[in-house]
Chain A
Amino acid sequence: MRSLFRFLLRNYFVMMFLALEAISFSLIVSLNNYQRVAFVSSSNDIVGTIYERFSHFDDYFSLSRTNARLAAENASLRKQLQLRIQLQEKYPTNRPDTVDAPAYYFTSAKVISNSVNKQFNYISLNKGSRQGIKPDMGIISADGVVGVITNVSPNYSTGLSLLNKRFSIAAKITKNNYSGSLVWDGEHSNTADLNGIPFHVIVNVGDSVVTSANSGIFPEGIMIGTISKWDVEGGTNFFNIKVDLSTNFRTLKYVEVVKNTKQDELKKLETNNVGE
């Protein structure tokens, strides 16, 4: 026993090195399980505060651009509202049923940190559990899909950006409703791959790709991007489709967090099915 101690003491440098590397590796490997490593993430309050301070300062440089974008979004929403009102006037009996409470609620939030240059990019927002943010809520911007929340602290939250190879979303081509899964290609901050679209579908460059209904996280029809390129790989039955993302992740400032009020109900139902 004593010789063991002496051995450990003499080689403590190597032992300590191995121990610390083991800790690091266990952290790297458990990266897949976001909840478990919540404390090593920028959703914690100290980190969030530092990022928020810096982003206040950074904001002044993009005020006019942000304003222009918000004004454009306002205009487009107003147009949609006008359309609704006209429809209502035309068909006054076609009233929405009050039983159908809105399935989705939106909370606006500010991006306090956002990376685009890694293989696994994350995004941090300035709202957290006190503002009703929970894991598994979607993040969208005026231009399109941004990501999904994974960790929350009382005042901050972090999530996977769409520019994260571990994140895939159910997407469909608007024109023909065929759906597949969309994953970032890991190369550019504005392109992604759409997989699982079978051969017989007619695909054109410029077709828009939107979220499909079966994601459960995003409302149906949120813009993701447009098809920029497609080709056929030998030996498979599916297209290789490149999508130009509509969200500009490099200049992202304001986003909305989507809460699906029926998500829990749906999840419960689906797990029941699995159990049988």
Chain B
Amino acid sequence: MSTELDSRSFLRWCWRQLTSMRIALILLLLLAIAAIPGSLFPQRSQNPVQVRQYFIDNPQVAIWLDRFSMFDVFSSPWFSAIYLLLFISLIGCVLPRSIEHLKAIGAKPPLTPKYLDRMESYTEFKKVDLHIVERYLRKKHFRIRRDENSISAEKGYARESGNLLFHLSLVLILIAVGIGSLLGSRGDAIVNIGDRFINTPTSYDILGFGKYQSEDSLPPFSITIKDFKAKYDPVSNAALDYELTVSTANPVGSTETTRVIKVNQPLTYGSTKIYLQANGYAPIVVVKDKTGKVVFDGPTTFLPQDANLSSIGAIKVPDMQPQIGFVASFLPTADRDPIRGGFSSYPEVLDPRLLVAVWKGDLGLNRGIPQSVYRIDTSKMERIGLKALVLNESYDFGEGSITFTGWTSWVNLQIVKDPGKGFALIGAILAILGLLISLFTRQRRIWVKQGRKTQIAGLAKNGIPGLEDEIKELVKEMSNER
């Protein structure tokens, strides 16, 4: 035998193995097992901060986990390998079956087997007219092959149709997920109340693109934040409702319309949606230098730390000589207790405090290393003051002064473009439809043969129950006919 034939038959063997049900079953179970680490370790795609924390807490372990993609399980080579093999196996199994099924729909049921008495649920019966049997079976919507002395009847083709529809819909869902990740984009932008967001890459705080998506493909809308209302339960302090009012124009400069965005109610532009994902406070301060010149005036975004929106942030004033930074926390409703010190007791602004620690020195902004806007690198700085400010209070820290003049709210808009999700929804609906059809349709064959006696036998696909009763009923019906 030539080696070429050998390798070809080997490939054929592989293909047959891959499309066999046994391998598909193993792949299914492997897929379930492979998904488990994705729920046990923090994932970069959901929570990069927690992953970074994991690296800090367990550096040795984390490096090894990372080598096996444990922080990116669902985009890892091994997870992808399993589901791709599974889908290849699925297509290899379903496509030939679809072709076969299409042929079967056009064709008559198979010939009546020679020896019916070897089949399951076999009954003998006194001679009846086959016409009557045929009429009865047709009335019950069986497909019928009528030969001279026998009838071969089959029912329940929809089972296989549903089955194939279900599996092909899964392929559609996979394609939809692919479209979404290749042609979509996803980004976050923090916008203060009163400010305008224009949908260009530079307006975003974070922005990610699919592989085949270019930067200029963002739809050219603008969103002006008009108002943001947060309602809280006065007893439990839990949030009850968030309502964001915006005026929006598409494209920028056209007539603006007023719209409301809520947590479960995003704003939609085609396949792009704008979500309200988070909110917080931005205290407004005025900083003056020794000469009384204003060197900083405006809001700074602070990050909420707890349910009562105690927030921390950093106000950086690089234009002063020496540079000044304020490490600050903002308490919307200030309270004190001996253990925790100052804290916030309610998420709304009722009695605000701004706690500032003043640092002098080099903010390190020119070192070229990207810095968090919420933190100050104080390694080259010296602390020169500490103060809790009430509204409109000023504090003179020697190099200048800071005044706490007010606050505004900010919202985090998440802007997501996913052109694949419509297909995913269609795929999901078809999958359920196919599943229902295939699980609740029984496919079975009934043969009736005329000899000295009338023989009846049946075969239920996958041993689904109910056939016996059906044959009994047929027999009963025939006895009544006589």
Do the two chains bind? no
Residues of B near any A CB (own CB < 8 A):
none
Residues of A near any B CB (own CB < 8 A):
none
